[in-house]
Structure 1
Amino acid sequence: MRRLSYLAVLLILSASLAGCTSPPDGTEIASGCTYSDALNFNESAVTDDGSCEYPEPPEETPGCTYEGATNYNEAATVDDGSCEYPEPPEETPGCTYEGATNYDEAATVDDGSCEYPPDPVLGCTNSSALNFNATADTDNGSCRYIQPHVLMVLLDGWRPDVIAAAHTPTIDMMMQDSAYSMEARVEDTTISGSGHSSFLTGVHRDKHNVHGNSFGDANYQEYPYWFNLLKYERPEMHTAAYHNWLPMANTALDFSVCGYCVDMYVTGSDNLIATQLATDLANQQMDAVTIVIDAPDAAGHGYGYHPLIPQYVAAMNQSDAWLGTIMDAIFARTNYAEEDWMVILSTDHAGSGYGHGYNIPEHREVPLIIWGAESPGPIWPAPDAVDIVPTALHHMGVEVRPEWDLDGRAVGLEPTGPPDAELGVNLVFNGDGELERGMTPGFDASVPGWVDNGTMTTWIYDVWDYLQKTDPGPADGGSNYFGGGTGDGNSTMHQEIDLTGIAEEIGWGNLTYSLTAYIGGYLSQNDCMEVLVEFFDSSGNLLLSGGIGPVYAADRNYTTGIHLHGVIGQVPADSAWIRVTLNAYLEYGNNDAYADDVSLILSTQT
């Protein structure tokens, strides 16, 4: 009975499914090739009818299909086992580590032979440093360098000849390692105010505008105390000033003109400031220092300026003792071995009788001693007080800026002396007066290379009512010419020329000299210039003299100008040295005797 029931169900289902194989509307079912890779694939066919057609399989291309083989065939489709392979490269043993000292870039196999550099030796590798380490190969920034320091000492009223008469062990010690001159020149006024100002600013009085002991019109704004210039370039420098003359110091160091240029300012008596400086040197940072000692000037005014005056000599002895205390303090500084000290000694003027203030050698020629200079020995030509500031700045590593308009130059940097005599060249040193700047009339400039016993000076061209470049004169007269000066009398200057360098030629007896110069004057004034030449033997005996001029107003047709004059003569065979002299003779007023381009040439006769 159960089997009959199952059969009935199957029959019913079979009848229903059979009816589903044909669309109800009698539509035909599409048939064809349903294999998509077949050539006759019919994408609309529902049932596959076995009609599919297939492409012929590609023809096999046998060959080597391994790309690394030497006979690789990129067209081969079937590897036929014919591949041939390159011989393996020959191994090159060596050190393959690039950091090794024996690295071999051609090596292919490391053979363990690499050698490595030793560990670096750290230290200072700069040979100019104080702590240079010759074994160090790697600089670690530890180098220490010697540090420059400057002390400028002004001994007011100091005559050069008192050194020999006084007991000065400190100065004597310093002289052995100093550049020096006993003929340095100070301002023509030889007054403390102008002298101190030039000493401390590096310019002449026509710039700092202090012409006496009044400071009301001082031009310290434009030409300040030298600390200002130092701090401008090296603001870390520590500066200290020790003064005993308040009018000058207070004006020059006033905040309105010096700002923060001074870190320590001490005033008082000579003994107080000298003692205080020595104390401060022991425990203070000291890079640039000035001190003014008044004792020689006070003794000179009170008892007389002369090496035979006991009180003046005693003042010099005491000044040297104070200086010794200060130098001992420098030597005792903790880091003295790492400090390069320069100590500059000079003054504002010398003196005679009971005073000073005249434009004469006894008042104007002074000592200048530079202990610690790069080149010890005499300074030639004679320096000027305005050279002190540039010298100090140079030592401190500061290059003078053109806009500072300083007048001096750094001295003591190299050995100096008169040039050796030669044939065929001008033997007159600074014969054109161009070595330093000239002045306007009313100021007396020093003339380097010449011994000036009066008011002879160099003036600048084109000052109204004086010599103009458009007046008769040399085609290229430069900036300066020689003038008789603004004194009330005649003036003179000379220089001596050593002939050792041409002694053999002179001994031949066939040399001639040619002395030439442009000389003249002003309009109808008979102020007149002459140039003399004198030949001396080795014993100082005069052998021959000659010269040109004087030239009077009538000789120049009463016009302002300078004209070329000359003389030729025979050089005596025994000549050892020559003196060339300029004499300016005054008629009245200022001494308007002029000269330029003074020349003396020795040559063989032709």
Structure 2
Amino acid sequence: MRRLSYLVVLLLLSGSLAGCTSPPDDTETASGCTYPDALNFNESAVTDDGSCEYPEPLEETPGCTYEGATNFDEGATVDDGSCEFLQPPEEKPGCTYSNALNFDENASVDDGSCEFRPYLVFGCNDTTALNFDANATYNDGSCEYITQHVLMVLIDGWRPDSVAAGQTPTIDMMMPDSAYSMAARVEDTTISGSGHSSYLTGVHRDKHNVHSNNFEGHNYDQYPYWFRLLRDSAPDTHRSAYHNWPTMSDAALDESVCSDCGDYFQDYDQNIVNRLVADLATKEMNAATLVLDLMDARGHGSGFNSSNPQYIAGMNQTDIWLGEVMDAIFARPNYVNEEWMVILSSDHAGTGYGHGYNIPEHRNVPLIIWGAESPGEIWPPPDAVDAVPTALHHLGVDIDPAWSLDGRVIGIYPTASPIAALGVNLIFNGDGEFERGMTPGIDASVPGWVDNEGMTTWIYNVPTYLQTTDPGPANRGSNYFGGGTGDSTMYQEIYLTGIEAEIGWGNISYSLTAFLGGYSSQNDRMEVLVEFFDSSGNLLLSGGIGPVYAADRNDTTGIFLRGEIGEVPPSSAYVRVTLNAYLSYGYNDAYADNVSLILSTQ
């Protein structure tokens, strides 16, 4: 048994010794650079042999490496502490909520000061309205505005002196708030047809083409009743007419221009007034016209005379009707928010039992504008054609030059005759250019002058009359003075209040000049007179230039400069300048232009 054990041990030892007889070959083991960061790293190397090679270290670049800095340098590798940063903005306290009443767009920090409206406040938020509510956030349609209204009244056959002669409390009440004239001018025909037409169209008879009470051939299409101009400019306005003369109304009016044509042809003035009073209580009435005929009827029946009780009774009754109309205006529900203008005038005056002559007694009428912006007497005296542009202006309508209206807006600014001064022309409208001239055959009244009959302004270049190429002033305008149909005269009186002290020293001279002449070989001739008066009306000195006869101008059509120099009397208070035109035969072709009176120290 022991023998067998030795044998096993021997066998085991012999196996172990047999594996140790041949050691491994070292030359087969791989060596190299075993560091991964090296440039020559050998991933197969088992044994590092010290051959590793490394990249040279990068050169450091100093600078600001903070991206939020204003001077950040993206190429910098090392921060050098040079970074610069924006300073934090200065805080501005205020209300930063845009829907707040006191929102401040410049505020950066809300300071709790915001103020807010209630979420929804109904009311008028239009700042131009009378009842504007600053707290309203929603316009509920309740806004109220000032509205303009005009009533034009034509009192047929109205003499200026009848107002003082009658009992007229209504007109007396209106006068302090009125621009007015008791010498307004109407058409030279002084007939109702042309007078009504001029008052209600704003143009003279050479345009509307109504020269009598026959309306055939009228030119209302081109120069219409003023309602059409208002309709075209302000279509939403309410327009109403109250006439008692169907011939005129049928020719000038229709429903296309009149919202309510209240024409009561079969009735008299009282019935028309009643209708107007009733309409004033219920209708908008932006523009209305009223024609009253009683005074003309009384004049024809008993005489146009302020001493005639029947005629003055007509004035008194007319004033009563005007009172009823004014009371109706004052009683309107919204009167406090309305601006009214009431214009009173006439188509002609009269003498005896009629009218129709081109004389001041027929041609001068009252014109009263209640509600004018500038109350007081209008100077120079206006024309009936001034009513339409004045009414349109009050209603906010711009006057279109294409309408070719002859009138001008009046009652806006204070007016007065010029104050006398040394070294300037004292004659107003001495060149006839204040209003447009006419062609021969129509007598234009001349503003600033008292025209007794016939003297007028004509336009240059009418065939067989004065031409701009004829002898005359180099600076002539469009018009010149013409004699008219017969011997004629006109004058103006100039008060010397502004220079009375200088005149009193006795060292003032005057220079009177004018261009005077006529047509061809006709002896129609013009002269200019100058007269100085003291404060009591005593004549102190008279002088003059002309007349210029045909022989003086060598039978040539033209006007030629004439002049006179003299000494002004020391006690002179006013001076009168008169143009006299003398007729030789036919039509009066006496001409004048650029009339001048200058006072100066000697």
Output the TM-score relative to the length of structure 1: 0.83
Does residue 225 in structure 1 map to residue 225 in structure 2?
A: yes
Does residue 533 in structure 1 map to residue 537 in structure 2?
A: no
Q: Is the 8 A contact 1:150 1:341 kept in 2?
A: yes
Shift of 1:38: 10
Q: Which amino acid in 2 is paired with 1:229?
A: L
After alignment, is 514-523 or 123-132 more displaced? 123-132
Deviation per CA, 1:343-390, whole angstroms, max 9, x where unpaired? 000011111111111101111000000000011110000100110001
Q: Which amino acid in 2 is paired with 1:543?
A: L
Alignment partner, residue 548 of structure 2: 551
Q: Which amino acid in 1 is paired with 2:379?
A: W
Alignment partner, residue 354 of structure 1: 353
Alignment partner, residue 16 of structure 1: none
After alignment, is 565-574 or 307-316 more displaced? 307-316
Alpha carbons of 1:505 and 1:265: their partners in 2 closer, same or farther (altered >3 Å)?
Answer: same
Alignment partner, residue 242 of structure 1: 242
Q: Which amino acid in 1 is paired with 2:234?
A: R
Deviation per CA, 1:237-285, whole angstroms, max 9, x where unpaired? 1111111001111110146xxxx22100012221111100000000111
Which among 257, 260, 269 is matched to residue 264 of structure 1?
A: 260
SS of the equivalent of 2:463 reads coil
Q: Is the 8 A contact 1:148 1:287 kept in 2?
A: yes
Deviation per CA, 1:533-570, whole angstroms, max 9, x where unpaired? 00001111110000011221111112211110011100
Q: Is the 8 A contact 1:446 1:457 kept in 2?
A: yes
**Counterpart-to-counterpart distance in 2, 1:73 and 1:482:** 94
Q: Is the 8 A contact 1:92 1:106 kept in 2?
A: no
After alignment, is 47-56 or 281-290 more displaced? 47-56
**Counterpart-to-counterpart distance in 2, 1:427 and 1:545:** 17
Any residues of structure 2 matched to 1:340-351 within 5 Å, and which?
A: 340-351=339-350
Alpha carbons of 1:496 and 1:124: their partners in 2 closer, same or farther (altered >3 Å)?
Answer: farther
Does residue 464 in structure 1 map to residue 473 in structure 2?
A: no
Q: Is the 8 A contact 1:69 1:84 kept in 2?
A: no
Q: Which amino acid in 1 is paired with 2:222?
A: E
SS of the equivalent of 2:194 reads helix
Quote the sequence identity (%). 63
Q: Which amino acid in 1 is paired with 2:597?
A: L
Alignment partner, residue 198 of structure 2: 198
**Counterpart-to-counterpart distance in 1, 2:377 and 2:92:** 68
SS of the equivalent of 2:453 reads coil
Alpha carbons of 1:60 and 1:187: their partners in 2 closer, same or farther (altered >3 Å)?
Answer: closer
What are structure 2's unaligned runs of at least 5 residues? 1-35
**Counterpart-to-counterpart distance in 2, 1:529 and 1:208:** 32
Alignment partner, residue 318 of structure 1: 317
Alignment partner, residue 275 of structure 1: 274
Deviation per CA, 1:293-317, whole angstroms, max 9, x where unpaired? 1111111111111112222111111
Which among 558, 582, 587 is matched to residue 590 of structure 1?
A: 587
**Counterpart-to-counterpart distance in 2, 1:69 and 1:600:** 89
Alpha carbons of 1:207 and 1:50: their partners in 2 closer, same or farther (altered >3 Å)?
Answer: farther
Alpha carbons of 1:204 and 1:69: their partners in 2 closer, same or farther (altered >3 Å)?
Answer: closer
Which among 494, 499, 512 is matched to residue 497 of structure 1?
A: 494
Query: How big is the alpha-carbon RMSD for the aligned residues of Structure 1 and Structure 2?
Result: 3.7
What are structure 1's unaligned runs of at least 5 residues? 1-35
SS of the equivalent of 2:577 reads strand
Alignment partner, residue 421 of structure 1: 420
Shift of 1:119: 3.5
**Counterpart-to-counterpart distance in 1, 2:261 and 2:72:** 96
**Counterpart-to-counterpart distance in 2, 1:539 and 1:300:** 36
Does residue 288 in structure 1 map to residue 284 in structure 2?
A: no
Any residues of structure 2 matched to 1:441-460 within 5 Å, and which?
A: 441-460=440-459
Shift of 1:505: 0.6
**Counterpart-to-counterpart distance in 1, 2:308 and 2:68:** 115
Q: Is the 8 A contact 2:522 2:584 kept in 1?
A: yes
Q: Which amino acid in 2 is paired with 1:220?
A: Y
Does residue 604 in structure 1 map to residue 580 in structure 2?
A: no
Q: Is the 8 A contact 2:380 2:447 kept in 1?
A: yes
Q: Is the 8 A contact 1:60 1:78 kept in 2?
A: no
Alignment partner, residue 404 of structure 1: 403
SS of the equivalent of 1:153 reads strand
Alpha carbons of 1:271 and 1:55: their partners in 2 closer, same or farther (altered >3 Å)?
Answer: farther
**Counterpart-to-counterpart distance in 2, 1:543 and 1:272:** 58
SS of the equivalent of 1:529 reads strand
SS of the equivalent of 2:592 reads strand
Any residues of structure 2 matched to 1:475-486 within 5 Å, and which?
A: 475-485=474-484
After alignment, is 371-380 or 227-236 more displaced? 227-236
Alignment partner, residue 30 of structure 2: none
Shift of 1:105: 8.1
Deviation per CA, 1:70-121, whole angstroms, max 9, x where unpaired? 9999789899xx99999998997774875598989898xx7x8x25243469
Shift of 1:59: 4.2
Deviation per CA, 1:197-232, whole angstroms, max 9, x where unpaired? 000000000000000011110000100010111111
After alignment, is 507-516 or 63-72 more displaced? 63-72
Alignment partner, residue 328 of structure 1: 327
Does residue 207 in structure 1 map to residue 207 in structure 2?
A: yes
**Counterpart-to-counterpart distance in 2, 1:598 and 1:306:** 37
Alpha carbons of 1:559 and 1:448: their partners in 2 closer, same or farther (altered >3 Å)?
Answer: same
Alpha carbons of 1:94 and 1:543: their partners in 2 closer, same or farther (altered >3 Å)?
Answer: closer
Shift of 1:125: 8.8
Q: Is the 8 A contact 2:215 2:247 kept in 1?
A: yes
* Aligned residue pairs, count: 554
Alignment partner, residue 156 of structure 1: 156
Q: Is the 8 A contact 2:93 2:107 kept in 1?
A: no
Shift of 1:183: 0.3
Alpha carbons of 1:137 and 1:596: their partners in 2 closer, same or farther (altered >3 Å)?
Answer: farther
Q: Which amino acid in 2 is paired with 1:173?
A: M
Q: Which amino acid in 1 is paired with 2:156?
A: D
Shift of 1:39: 7.8
**Counterpart-to-counterpart distance in 1, 2:368 and 2:550:** 45
Alignment partner, residue 186 of structure 1: 186
